[in-house]
Structure 1
């Protein structure tokens, strides 16, 4: 078993801003007009690059596909499907992508669930990659699951969360050769920022089980340094981009999200 731990300092996300962002995204999606396969904004501007391929807009089973640039037709290898759309209960979307490489055909599926948009309390993300082809294909797949306790994140970040309760953000990765579990806990920093501690535990599986202790002994220091450097790099990007974004409220935030939808 290998263990990793590192702490970074992050610019905080105000809870009210996060909840307003969730509300604005739902408002924006519900304001789209569906004329057959075509989607457009209430002011008549078309939504480029995306069509409603099946079902009714935002109803469970509705399936959206991106449009290929080369011929303007829906891409049959990519789709986003509405699994649930109820502000007071659950919003759930599934994105599926197929890779038709003859040597290693692969399918990735990602499901995002939010309970609920009216009062966000939990978010879950699961992603699975499955490959087919030769005998090596089974080593190319895996599953990632993440759970974010939105009701517990901000109290923990403010120093009010109990240390005995589960981490607000946790996840695991399953691979044929390894299993990793991750926990993320925010605590307040003296300057009002978040001090976020990430812990990871990796266990070998199958024939990799006895090899992991050897690899940890030989490359443990380098692996821990790479783990810390990757988190530090992500923290730098977060801290560089977030302050400008969280300053946007109301119509300014809606305009920012609308522009993102209209981008090619």
Structure 2
């Protein structure tokens, strides 16, 4: 088993701001109308690149498919299905992407969920990559899941007692390796967040006895690369997030609508 640990300092995200943004995004989706499969923003402008293919807008089972802006014909490579849409309980979407690269198909199934939009408590993302048409295709796929306990995160970043378990946890499972990641924040003296990321890597199948050797040879370099990547991500966060949290929910909603129109 190989281990990794690194700590970065991040600009904080206020809880009330995040909750207002989640509500604003739900408002934008619910205020969007449909007309003959087309999606219309609240001001009546058509939303390019996406059509309602099946079901009723935002009802469980509704499926949206991406379309090229040029000819308006649906593509077969990406669709979004509403699994649940209840602001007081749960919002859950399934995103399926299929790519056919020279006869070697790959499919990515993602599920994004939130409990609940009115007062977010938990969020999760799961993904499965499956491949076909290649030798040893099973070794090219895998599954991953990330769970965020928002109540635990706010508890950990406040002045109260630390939560009993890491508020952010993730796993990546491959035929040859399994990676477990935990993220724990704590308040810094200047009001920012000190966030510690820990990872454990375990070999599976015939890779199990090879992992200690690989860790001995490349472990130090891999840990250095991982720390540098986290430092770069933290630097980008600290540049962009303070400007983002300075926007109120109405401004964020307008920016999201503008971004959708620019697709």
With normalisation by structure 1, the TM-score equals: 0.97
Aligned Cα root-mean-square deviation (Å): 1.1
Change in CA separation of 1:43 and 1:69 when aligned onto 2, cut-off 3 Å: closer
Are 1:157 and 2:157 an aligned pair? yes
Q: What 5-or-longer segments of structure 1 have no aligned partner?
A: none
The 5-angstrom pairing of residues 203-218 of structure 1 reads 203-218=202-217
1:48 Cα deviation from its structure 2 partner: 1.1
In 2, Cα distance between the equivalents of 1:255 and 1:158?
Answer: 31
In 2, Cα distance between the equivalents of 1:152 and 1:221?
Answer: 32
In 2, Cα distance between the equivalents of 1:201 and 1:159?
Answer: 29
In 2, Cα distance between the equivalents of 1:195 and 1:207?
Answer: 38
**What is the number of residues matched between the two proteins?**
263
Aligned match of 1:108: 108
1:261 Cα deviation from its structure 2 partner: 2.0
1:104 Cα deviation from its structure 2 partner: 2.2
1:134 Cα deviation from its structure 2 partner: 2.4
In 1, Cα distance between the equivalents of 2:122 and 2:202?
Answer: 27
Tell me if structure 1 keeps the 8 A contact 2:24–2:250. Answer: no
Cα deviation, 1:137-185, whole Å, max 9, x if unaligned, reads 111111110100011101101242425x110000100000000100000
Change in CA separation of 1:159 and 1:230 when aligned onto 2, cut-off 3 Å: farther
In 1, Cα distance between the equivalents of 2:72 and 2:15?
Answer: 40
Tell me if structure 1 keeps the 8 A contact 2:55–2:63. Answer: yes
SS of residue in 2 equivalent to 1:47? strand
Aligned match of 1:241: 240
The 5-angstrom pairing of residues 1-264 of structure 1 reads 1-162=1-162, 165-264=164-263
In 2, Cα distance between the equivalents of 1:235 and 1:158?
Answer: 20
Stretches of 4+ aligned residues off by more than 4 angstroms? none
In 1, Cα distance between the equivalents of 2:102 and 2:48?
Answer: 30
Tell me if structure 1 keeps the 8 A contact 2:123–2:147. Answer: yes
